[in-house]
Structure 1
Amino acid sequence: MLPVAEARQRIVAALAPVTAEFLPLASAHDRVLAEAVAARRTQPPFAVSAMDGWAVRAADIARLPARLTQVGEVAAGAAHAGTLAAGEAVRIFTGAPLPDGADTVVLQEDCEAGDSIVEVRDGGPQGRWVRPAGLDFAEGEALLPAGRRLSARDIALAAAMNQAWLPVRRRPRIAVLATGDELVRPGETPGPNQIVASNSYGIMAWAARFGATPVDLGIAPDDVHALAGCAAGAAGCDLLVTLGGASVGEHDLVQRVLAADGRDLDFWRIAMRPGKPLMFGTARVGPAPGSPVPLLGLPGNPVSAMVCAMLFLRPALERLLGLPDREGPLETARLGADLPANDRREDFLRARLETAADGERVATPFGKQDSSMLRLLAESECLVRRPPHAPAAATGSQVEIVRFDYGF
């Protein structure tokens, strides 16, 4: 059986980022930049006042109080004609361009203004309350890097950079196909030996939240021709995710139908719990010889499918979107309950995550970890990772955790 880390690496290495598209700013929020974006102008483009007051020459207010002659007024969006001479002042408002010759702004509350004379009672050094040109950024600076998921703050910055359109990765099309005679859709009346399908809805909801476009291929019965027909809907998609049928039993048809050529299958068993029957390779969908589509076969058990999505579908989506690889040391937390020694499979335990009185995080695994219990998954905030052959762990010891994030 393949270790979890190696399986993840193989999946990521086999995929490539999807193509880019240009979107207007109003539609680019939460999308991923396909290339770095540079400023098309300097901000601010000229020196401006940071406060309401008077634009002056610092030399004229070196000794206080100082009496200056008012020679004009300038607001944001306007400009003062001419150059400020010695002994002169211009009434200025926040955001207005600093008049030529001026180098300082004094606050309006520190001045007494008459009809034409301004008495400055308190001032400051040269440059006080002035925002110089380029204070924020300069034209040509690459401020938004490729692979960045655009926040509202990024959109505001892009607008200030005078960028009306942004190059972003298109949304990957993720086809999702549930398999099994035992499944019916939510809202339908199950037969005597049937259950309600849940996996595909959770997977599609999360994939959409992550930035993909899910394509619902429905439920394929345990029939070779029906499975092939349903899978044909994945043609043109960037990834086909199947649910169930990934093992080697007589009714597990995904491998036999969609990856019949041994060269198309990379692996199909992972040394982990929950989720050992995980498959990855290339599916051949549609009329022979079939269109190749990357295939990620998730287990049929509800919790196994969702946990495997968190561990393997997420890095696949990150790769397709051109996001930076987040592989690295996991976060840690204090263990909230004793755990027995682990066996040869890497274990991921559903757990609550709380903050103790001392501010440290505490992860407490649920006592029952059956892979059919979605309720406990919904009540969890993280997974506690247990390495293969990990010794027994006592309450209070440090453990690695995988936090649920981004709508999982």
Structure 2
Amino acid sequence: MISVEEAQARILVLKESVETERVTLAEATGRWAAEDVLALRTQPARDLSAMDGYAIRFADAAGPWTMIGESAAGRQFQGNVASGEAVRIFTGAVVPEGADTVLIQENVAREGDLVTLTGDAVQKAGQNVRRAGGDFVMGAVVVPTGAELHARHIALAAMAGHGALLVHRKLKVALVSTGNELVTPGEPCAEDQIPASNGVMLAAMLRGLPVELSEFPAVEDDLEALTRQFRALTDHDIIVTTGGASVGDHDLIVPALKAAGGEIVFWKIAMRPGKPVIAGRLGDAVALGLPGNPVSAFVTAMLYLRPLIAHRSGAGDPLPQRLTATTAVDLAANGPRTDHLRARLVDGKLMPVGANDSAMLGALSEANALIIRPSNVGFTPADSEVPYYALT
């Protein structure tokens, strides 16, 4: 068996990022930037007013002033402000030439074209002014290569002058559940059957990622049927199976992948839940065999499948973020496999929930965190800092 960290490293080098394409800003959300996004303009392009008020020279801060015009957003004042003069100005408007400071309107009174100070004077030159280039300047990197593009990055790219961004194309991902006992969700189950929850769970986990999902009906535990299924999926970038990854008589993923012309890169990871993970190649596809127990499938998909998709989509940091918090209870010493305890993070403390069983979804559903118990870690008393993953 190999460690979690080695498994992640070996999975991420199976294949490099896929080809790039340029897409609209709307289509770029949830993708990863395939190049540095450079500002095509300076923002603000000119000094702007941060408040409604009057643009003046700071040297004349005591007033009074004669108003000579108005500057509004999109309709700037075209003249020059001389000593003793003021321009009525609104938030977001260009500060006129000659002015360097804005008096807020609450601190002045106006009678006709005469403006006088009635409240606090400005304390320094440039007060209530947003300086040109204060956000970014032309040529600056506003979004680095490998950044995941959220709404805030899309807004920044738009402000920087972009209407489209270079990203990696969507990955074709196949989801295949295996097992004679599986029944389509919502259909009646006999006592020796269970609903096929892994496929819908993984599809939900991958929603929002840049993938084109192909979900297939459950395949029976039959070597020829599984081999045919593998051979039919070689046009995909990633093939994900659940079930059949262990060493029992009905665990046929390894022989079926080999029979289809694939190779096994590694099999079995020193972790709990999720020991029987298989990683391999089939043509140009990466094959990832996850365990059939649903909690194991969830945890291993979070640790290996999502990072693989992120990596091949150009992510700069594809692995899930490890956080720390204090444990609310004592934690027993751990054995040779990294353990992932279902837990709830409440008021900064982690409380394990439910039975630590890889087939029980109730505890997983209740959890919002996974406590990471490294291999061979000793007894950990309550109120100690421990690492964890956040669940969404």
TM-score (norm 2): 0.89
The Cα shift of 1:328 comes to: 9.2
Amino acid at match of 1:186: P
Matches within 5 A, 1:302-381: 302-325=294-317, 330-355=322-347, 360-366=348-354, 368-381=355-368
Task: State the alpha-carbon separation in 1 of the partners of residues 53 and 104 from structure 2.
Answer: 4
Distance across 1 between alignment mates of 2:115 and 2:294: 76
Task: Verify the 8 A CA contact 1:365 1:384 in the aligned structure 2.
Answer: no
What is the CA–CA distance in structure 2 between the aligned matches of 1:152 and 1:377, rounded to whole Å?
A: 29
Query: How many positions carry a matched residue from both structures?
Result: 390
For 1:26, give the aligned amino acid: A
| CA drift at 1:327 | 5.3
Residue identity in the other structure for 1:317: I
- d(CA) in 2 for partners of 1:330 and 1:131? 38
1:116 aligns with 2:113: yes
The alpha-carbon deviation at position 244 of structure 1 amounts to: 1.2
Aligned twin of 2:48: 48
Aligned to 1:4: 4
User: Cα 1:279–1:30, aligned 2, differ >3 Å: closer, same or farther?
Assistant: same
Show structure 1 runs of 5+ residues with no match: 284-290
1:298 corresponds to which letter in structure 2?
L
Q: What corresponds to 2:38 in structure 1?
A: 38
- C-alpha RMSD of matched pairs (Å): 2.6
Could you say which residue in structure 2 is the equivalent of 1:200? Answer: 199
For residues 186 and 372 of structure 2, the distance between their equivalents in structure 1, rounded to whole angstroms, comes to 35
The AA in structure 2 aligned to 1:200 is G
What SS does structure 2 have at the residue aligned with 1:31? coil
| Separation (CA, whole Å) in 1 of partners of 2:320 and 2:143 | 24
Q: Is the contact between residue 67 and residue 87 of structure 1 (CA under 8 Å) also seen in structure 2?
A: yes
The equivalent residue for 1:288 is none
The one-letter code of the counterpart of 1:54 is: Y
1:324 alignment partner AA: G
Tell me: CA distance 1:116–1:100, structure 2 relative to 1, closer, same or farther (3 Å). same
Q: Helix, strand or coil for the counterpart of 2:13?
A: helix
Contact 1:217–1:230 (CA under 8 A) maintained in structure 2: no
Moved over 6 A (4+): none
Q: Is the 8 A contact 2:35 2:145 kept in 1?
A: yes
Counterparts in 2 of 1:117 and 1:169: CA distance versus 1, 3 Å: same
From the superposition, tell whether residues 92 and 2 of structure 1 become closer, same or farther in structure 2 (CA, over 3 Å).
closer
In structure 1, what is the equivalent of residue 137 of structure 2?
A: 138
For residue 382 of structure 1, report the CA deviation from its aligned partner.
Answer: 2.1
Distance change (3 Å), C-alpha of 1:234 and 1:138: same
**C-alpha distance in 2 between matches for 1:225 and 1:263:** 15
Identity, % of aligned pairs? 43
Point out the more displaced range, 340-349 or 37-46. Answer: 340-349
TM-score (normalizing by structure 1)? 0.86
Q: Is the 8 Å Cα contact of residues 321 and 389 (structure 2) preserved in structure 1?
A: no
Q: Tell me, what secondary structure is at the counterpart of 2:9? A: helix
Contact 2:221 2:252 in 1 (8 A): yes
Please list, as runs of the form range in 1=range in 2, the aligned pairs for 1:200-349 lying within 5 A after superposition. 200-260=199-259, 264-283=263-282, 291-325=283-317, 330-349=322-341
TM-fit CA distance, 1:361? 1.4
- Distance in 1, matches of 2:381 and 2:287, equals 40
Give the C-alpha shift of residue 271 in structure 1. Answer: 1.8
CA contact (8 A) 1:177 1:231 kept: no
Q: Name the CA distance, whole Å, in 2 between partners of 1:328 and 1:164.
A: 30
CA offsets per residue over residues 175-197 of structure 1, 9 Å max, x none? 11111222121122334532221
Query: Structure 1 residues 76 and 268, CA, compared in 2 at 3 Å: closer, same or farther?
Result: same
Pairwise CA distance, 1:226: 1.9
